[in-house]
Every structure is written in C-alpha cells, then in structure tokens.
C-alpha cells in the first residue's frame, strides 16, 4: 500500500497529496496530525466514491486509509480542478466572506458591534447569500457564545451554507467550540469563491 506522510502539513496539502497518490495506486495510507485533516480526507473519499477508514493512534497521530471500491478505476480530477459540477448561479446569487472579528478601523468595540449588526442584517435581506465563508479571525463568529451564532443558525435554517476554515479554527484552538456550519479548508474556499458571481466582504 502506498503511504503519504502528511504529518505537519497544513490544509489542504494532505488532501492534495492523497489525491495525487490515488491516481497511481489502488489504496493510499495517509498519516495526519489533526482531526480536521481526517474529516477533509473523508469528504474527498465520499466525493470520489472510495472506501474510507481511519484509526487514531494518538492525540496527534491519525492513520487514514482510502481505497478504490472493488478495485475499480475512477477518474480523479487534478487537485486544481473543482470536485463537483458547478451550476451557473442566478444573477442575484452572491456569497459573503468574513475574515475578521471586527469591521473597519478604529474602535475594536465598535468594530465587533458592526460585525454583529452586519450578520444580523443578512438575515433581513430579501435575497439571502448562498454561502457565508469565515476564515482567519472571522471563525470566532461560528463558535459557542458568539454574538452571531443565533443569526447564523437562522441563516443556515433558511438554506444558507456556512463554512469555517479548519486551519484557522485550529490556530485559535477553538475547533471543539464550533456551533454552526461546516468546517472546510482553503482549497475548497478558493473553489467556492472562484465560481461565485459576486463576493460581498464587510
């Protein structure tokens, strides 16, 4: 079995390296050091229709095995190519990206209140965004106790997809506090932004 040592690699490198290896091998064993990486690998396996297995060897050592179902070949797109068919968005389609826990320069207290009001105001729009993506300091909005969690849950219940950068959550050590949305990686964030008609950033 081919092995990929992705220990210490930042997202989305474990996914990219595993996908490359699967182009040449029936099964790939990937070593990673965080749970977010295992989740991203699981999503990739599901998208490709492959078999996924994971063992946690220690708190910072996971072994993931991905194999082709029944040994059948499946075309694997290059890592740079989107993994799903993209439907042309409606003319009023847009996504929102938030990369900070404040808005604007000056007062931090005011900036946090402005961000809270911005997210609340999204819930009142006639046309909701299709997605809201959080990265860097923005991921603090999706955790338990955040001033915006209830509004984000309301948006999610109304069909808005919420995403938070896994590497960012890990950096701030708040991965286990996520209260809304899906954890993703920068590779997928770029894909979502690339195919969007419009991007709104406060």
* pLDDT tens-digit map of 116-149: 999 999 998 889 999 999 999 999 999 999 999 9
State the average pLDDT over residues 32-52: 92
Higher local confidence (pLDDT), 91 or 67: 67
Q: How far is CA 88 from CA 85, 92, 97, 184, 195, in A?
A: 10, 11, 20, 22, 8
Residues of the chain with CATH 3.30.110.40: 2-71
User: Residue 10: pLDDT band by 50, 70, 90 thresholds?
Assistant: confident
Tell whether the model's pLDDT for residue 40 goes beyond 60: yes
- In the chain, the largest separation of any two C-alpha atoms, in whole Å, equals 59
Phi, psi of 75 (to 5 degrees): -65, 130
Q: Residue 200 has what pLDDT?
A: 95
Query: What contacts 162, CB < 8 A, 6 or more positions away?
Result: 131, 132, 134, 142, 152, 155, 156, 180, 181, 182
Residue 81 has pLDDT above 50, yes or no: no
The CATH number of the structural domain formed by 95-200 is 3.40.1260.10
Residues of the chain with CATH 3.40.1260.10: 95-200
Please tell me the predicted confidence (pLDDT) of residue 89. 46
Phi, psi of 28 (to 5 degrees): -135, 130
- Residue 65 DSSP SS3: strand
Q: Which residue stretches of the chain are H helix?
A: 13-22, 35-48, 108-123, 149-157, 166-171, 186-194
Of the candidate CATH numbers 3.40.50.300, 3.30.110.40, 1.10.10.10, 3.40.50.150, the domain formed by 2-71 belongs to: 3.30.110.40
């Amino acid at each position: 079995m081919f092995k990929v040592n992705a220990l210490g690699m930042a997202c989305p490198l474990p996914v990219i390296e595993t996908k490359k290896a699967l182009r040449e091998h029936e099964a790939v064993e990937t070593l990673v050091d965080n749970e977010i990486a295992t989740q991203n690998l699981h999503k990739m396996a599901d998208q490709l229709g492959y078999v996924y297995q994971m063992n946690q060897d220690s708190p910072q050592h996971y072994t993931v095995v991905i194999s082709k179902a029944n040994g059948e070949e499946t075309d694997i797109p290059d890592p740079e190519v989107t993994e799903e068919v993209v439907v042309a968005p409606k003319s009023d389609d847009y996504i929102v990206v938030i990369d900070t826990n404040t808005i604007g320069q000056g007062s931090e207290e005011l900036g946090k209140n402005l961000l809270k009001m911005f997210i609340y105001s999204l819930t009142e729009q006639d046309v909701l965004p299709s997605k809201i993506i959080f990265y860097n300091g923005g991921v603090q909005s999706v955790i338990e106790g955040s001033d915006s969690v209830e509004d984000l849950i309301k948006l999610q219940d109304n069909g808005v997809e919420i995403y938070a950068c896994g590497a960012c959550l890990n950096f701030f050590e708040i991965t286990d506090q996520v209260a809304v949305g899906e954890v993703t990686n920068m590779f997928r964030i770029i894909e979502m932004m690339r195919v969007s008609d419009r991007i709104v950033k406060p």
